[in-house]
């Protein structure tokens, strides 16, 4: 039987992510596992044209600060449950970063929501969850949207 010692929980601060985090906390308590929260903040310029327009540095800094504050608040919720936990903030696209970080950290399990803030509805799963299922180096538990 596989021991679950490290659980990776990608979060985007949506209700779907909150439900996944709750499930991860339950599993971590049951197995004595550690949780790593992961938030990927993607900076997407609005109204991109054919001109190469850099995203203003102040905007990038504020996005990172805000994401960091929210991630820290979620981390404190996990720690308040008596779970050993830490968090990673990444500027990379989630659909790539999740599998990479799970590989690097040797995660035993990924628990995530089916979709997040993108609002894009897919027949079965959101694009990030679908990509994670295909690329993950470990089992992935997907928390259905209807469970959130």
Which pLDDT score, from 0 to 100, does residue 120 have?
45
**Helix (H/G/I), strand (E/B), else coil: 6:** strand
pLDDT at 136: 92
- Give me the CATH number covering residue 126: 3.40.50.620
List, edge to edge, every strand of the sheet that includes 85-90: 85-90, 34-40, 6-10, 109-113, 140-143
pLDDT for residue 1: 57
The answer to whether residue 31 sits within a structural domain is: yes
**Is residue 39 a part of any domain in this protein?**
yes
> Rounded to two decimals, what is the model's pTM?
0.84
pLDDT under 50: residue ranges of the chain: 117-125, 147-148
The DSSP call for residue 146 is G
pLDDT at 122: 42
Q: Is residue 96 part of a domain?
A: yes
Number of independent structural domains in the chain: 1
Query: Residue 57 falls within a domain, yes or no?
Result: yes
**Residue 130 is assigned to a structural domain of this protein:** yes
Q: How many other C-beta atoms can be found within 10 angstroms of the C-beta atom of residue 13?
A: 16
Write out the two tokens for 106. 């040797």
Query: Residue 60 is part of which domain span?
Result: 6-44+52-147
Would you say residue 104 lies in a domain? Answer: yes
Whether 71 is in a domain gets the answer yes
In a domain, 1, yes or no: no
What pLDDT score does 44 carry? 62
């Amino acid at each position: 039987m596989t021991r679950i010692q490290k659980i990776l929980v990608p979060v985007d601060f949506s209700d779907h992510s909150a439900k996944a985090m709750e499930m991860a906390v339950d599993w971590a308590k049951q197995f004595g596992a550690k949780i790593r929260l992961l938030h990927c903040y993607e900076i997407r310029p609005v109204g991109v044209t054919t001109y190469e327009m850099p995203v203003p540095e102040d905007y990038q800094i504020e996005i990172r600060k805000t994401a960091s504050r929210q991630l820290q608040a979620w981390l404190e919720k996990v720690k308040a449950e008596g779970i050993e936990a830490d968090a990673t903030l990444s500027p990379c696209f989630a659909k790539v970063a999740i599998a990479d970080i799970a590989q690097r950290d040797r995660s035993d399990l990924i628990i995530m929501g089916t979709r997040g803030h993108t609002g894009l509805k897919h027949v079965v799963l959101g694009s990030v969850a679908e990509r994670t299922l295909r690329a993950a180096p470990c089992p992935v538990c997907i928390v259905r949207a209807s469970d959130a």
